[in-house]
Structure 1
Amino acid sequence: MKHAAFLKQITDFVFVENEPEKADIIFIPGSGFPQLAEEAAQLYKKGFAPYILPSGRYSITQGHFGGVQEKEALYPGKYHTEWEFLSRVLIENGVPKEAVLKEEKATYTYENAIYSRKVTDKARLEIRQAILCCKPYHARRSLLYYQLLYPDTRFLVCPVKESSIRKDNWYQTEQGTKVVLGEMERIGIQFHEIIGEIRKEEPIDK
């Protein structure tokens, strides 16, 4: 492909993916897509982590839970929060209730990381290594936020395999291009203030 090298740079930045390893916890950023919890459940049942922490109230832009985005027939019912929905999916897929931690305040990705940290700190969990389950195109932004809140933790990103927008096809459709470049735009916009705060906390010696 003529522009393969150009596209690869964007692909490699946005679509982070690692092989799973033993971890202390599996994190799930808030979502109405059941695939995130399904993937986390499979990793749990394979023994990769003893806890799963789904996070999320609902999207700040909607002001309410937007509903089940896919596979509604498999997970029927009325859900008030993303956590309520994701925890239901986990339990339906064989994860015991005692392994599912609760975070039900977050309304966007940064808050997913912020409030998840509060939950693990309150539970006195030492998170040395963690798995992050998310949509493939949401991988980099999710990782950046969670790494910001867990600076001493090694993260392994294990995105869902079942997604219409993937690293091998995102540029082939207008929708895929819009979503992936939108992630890059959000990273540029959302991290200005954060990096400013980092400069204040960690000034460069002259």
Structure 2
Amino acid sequence: MISQQSWADARRLWDFQQMGHEVRPCSVAIGLGSHDLGVADTTAALYRDGMAPLIVFTGATSRTTRDRMPRGEAEHYRERALELGVPADAILVEPNARNTGENITFSRALLADQGIEVSSVLLVCKPYEERRAHATARKLWPEVEWVCASAPMTFTEYVGSIGDDRLVIDMLVGAQQRLMVYPEEGFMIRQNIPADVAAAYRRLVADGFTSRLVPMATVRGRESL
């Protein structure tokens, strides 16, 4: 059972992750691979709305996606976007990235190889990872303007769409940990963490929502999924 306090704490982390950017047309949309196929749906919808003329889907597999997306996250995203009417020539696939930093650096390299000039990027990700993705992108590719976007869903709606309450809360806790420790390692820009957000994070960790925490020894060596 998940307590009312844990639900309230998870909602606070969710709210903090939301960047609240106003979506506008950008040079390219980059859809960050994950277990959530809804990222592909959102990216396709933004393409159809004229928010970007080109999509890059980026991602290999992880321990949470190797079974459900055996061909790789980016490839499954591409297939989903094609089903939703995005033309094949409007999609590039970056199949090797295994963490958010690689999503950005590998996508940047792919676009450069294709000779595509980029001044702004529509960064599409899971709703509870907007801030983490934005902080990483700003650190690794500061020359462009970043606009974050995700599925327009409430916390309750999102949890229901995934169908695994604990997984969502674990992911929120993992995303929050990275916001707190990765700036020290040079993986993302520094964030101002409100005291109530930090307290909510600590309570959730104490309550056992820890499956997506990265050990500090690993943090010292490289960025982890």
For this structure pair, what is the TM-score category when the shorter chain's length is used for normalisation? 0.7 to 0.9
| One-letter amino acid of the counterpart of residue 20, structure 1 | V
Residue of structure 2 equivalent to 1:191: 183
Distance 1:9 1:189, change over 3 A: same
Counterparts of 2:88 and 2:172, CA distance in 1: 34
TM-score (norm 2): 0.68
Deviates more, 1:104-113 or 1:11-20: 11-20
Please tell me whether the aligned partners of residues 35 and 162 of structure 1 are also in contact (alpha carbons under 8 angstroms).
no
Residue in structure 1 matching 2:139, options 148, 162, 172 = 148
**Deviates further, 147-156 or 82-91:** 147-156
Q: Does 1:92 align with 2:83?
A: yes
Q: CA deviation at 1:161?
A: 2.3
1:109-148 residue CA offsets vs partner (Å, 9 max, x unmatched): 1111111111111112221111111111111111112222
CA contact (8 A) 2:11 2:155 kept: no
- Gaps spanning 5+ residues in structure 2: where? 1-8, 159-164, 189-225
Contact residue 28 and residue 37 of structure 1 kept, 8 A: yes
Query: After TM superposition, what 4+ stretches of structure 1 lie above 6 angstroms from structure 2?
Result: 6-9
| Corresponding residue for residue 222 of structure 2 | none
The answer to whether the Cα contact below 8 Å between 2:136 and 2:187 also exists between their aligned partners in 1 is no
Q: Return the alpha-carbon distance in structure 2 between the equivalents of residues 164 and 91 of structure 1.
A: 28
Q: Is it true that 1:180 corresponds to 2:172 in the alignment?
A: yes
Ranges in structure 1 where 5+ consecutive residues have no aligned partner: 1-5, 69-78, 168-172, 197-206
1:16 and 2:22 are equivalent in the alignment: no
More helix by share: 2
SS at match of 1:102: strand
Match of 2:42 among 34, 39, 42: 39
CA contact (8 A) 1:26 1:52 kept: yes
1:54 aligned residue (54, 57, 67): 57
RMSD after superposition: 3.1
Q: What secondary structure does 1:58 align onto? A: coil
Q: 1:66/1:138 Cα in 2 relative to 1: closer, same or farther (>3 Å)? A: farther
